[in-house]
Amino acid sequence: MKIMHISTRLILGGSQENTVFSCAGQADDGHEVSLVFGPIEGPEGTMLPVVREHGGIETIETPNLIRELSPRRDRHCLADLRRIIREHRPDVVHTHSSKAGILGRAAAWRENVPAVIHTIHGLPFHPYQSKLKNAIYIAAERWAARRCHVIVTVADAMRDQALAAGVGRAEQFQTVRSGMIVEPYLNDSPSMTETRRSLGLPKDAFIVGTVARLAELKGHDDLLDAFAPMMRSDPKLHLLWVGDGYWSDRLLTRVRDLGLSDQVHTPGLVKPETIPNWIRAVDVVVHPSYREGLPRAVVQGLLAAKPVVAYALDGAPEVCIDDETGILVTPGDRAALADAIDRLRTNPGLGTRLGTEGRRRCRGPFDRRTMVDELETIYRRVLSPSETRA
């Protein structure tokens, strides 16, 4: 098949990694794969080197595909995407993220692409932005849903929230878990002590780790609110923040003002292939984000047999199952967040039980090979009985 993926920003992030792994797996299977994306800028890194290192994936940067609403540039982007689709004549156009999803589906539908697929990694409308912006996004998503054949969701919660907002029809949706390279997370060597030594982390600390952009709604302020008193009373309680973002300076200033610089480790952006090492080095993976599809960091923690603590919203409860694979906390409840960590710190057996069960449940569904195979089944179902183009 000729498969074209369209994604707004190829930054270091969960949806982008999902997209790149889909492209790579499909190219490895012998398909002709192209990846269209907008300008990559800002402090959040880029997945482009991973794409180019793989080879076999044609990369196409289009200058007007930007995240912000911009009627003039959006019109130009729609024209650009239609031209690219006409030139490549793909059998499948698979869009990712909201802006690329709306414009990409519109372009593919107008160009009569045989299979138009969209993945919802996280919905663009949510309680933490204005009613006007939500209304615009909901209207746009409803319109775009009528211009695709299948809507893939990474979590059942995304399907349910979309349908509740009047986006799409129930028969359009199919959940496909966001795949990743699971083997490094399943590897329990080197030991935590050896890993901490190699990363420059204290060997005798209790480390609570977060893998997320330093950005709005990711919950880093909640971590400081919850843990600062505990950290002051116990110098062996540490935080590890893996990631960077637009809130970095403000958050790090707050850490300094709290006098916790020696107990909060911030390596910034790290190469994606090193994430298993950072997770291997922590005692607990915590993800207090207010808005997600299904957080990859939670799955990565469970694959590494680490107990996880997450806010009980969106797709997180589908993998962080309370008292079975992790501990769920009501969003914004800092006291409960602190209590969850204290339970795991004082009861190591609980953490071992939760992490072991989490690894057992996640290793199959979240393997990237599973994701690639399930996507191909969807593509072929939509294309059948039409023949793919030569």
Residue 371 confidence (pLDDT) above 80? yes
The residue count of the chain comes to 390
> Of 268, 262, 157, nearest to 210 (Cα)?
268
- Residue 386: its pLDDT value, please? 53
Q: Check the CA dihedral 335-336-337-343 and report its sign.
A: positive
- Residue 385: its pLDDT value, please? 66
Please tell me which of 50-59, 269-278, 344-353 the model is most confident about, judged by mean pLDDT. Answer: 344-353
Distance CA 338, CA 346 (A): 12
Distance CA 22, CA 3 (A): 10
- Judge residue 256's burial from the number of C-beta atoms within 10 Å of its C-beta, 0-12 exposed, 13-18 middle, 19 or more buried: exposed
pLDDT in tens, 136-162: 999 999 999 999 999 999 999 999 999
Q: Give the domains, in start order, of the chain with CATH numbers.
A: 2-179+367-383 (3.40.50.2000), 183-362 (3.40.50.2000)
Residue 33 confidence (pLDDT) above 60? yes
Residue 332 confidence (pLDDT) above 80? yes
Distance CA 344, CA 199 (A): 23
Residue 390 confidence (pLDDT) above 70? no
Longest dimension (CA), the chain: 68
Q: Is the peptide bond before 63 cis (omega within 30 degrees of 0)?
A: no
Contact 320, 366 (CB under 8 A): no
Concatenating the DSSP letter of every residue in 258-303 gives TT-TTTEEEEES--GGGHHHHHHT-SEEEE--SS-SS-HHHHHHHH
Amino acid occupying residue 351:
G
- Residue 9: its pLDDT value, please? 85
pLDDT in tens, 162-210: 999 999 999 999 999 999 999 999 999 899 999 999 999 999 999 999 9
Distance CA 272, CA 277 (A): 10
- Residue 70: its pLDDT value, please? 85
Global pTM value: 0.90
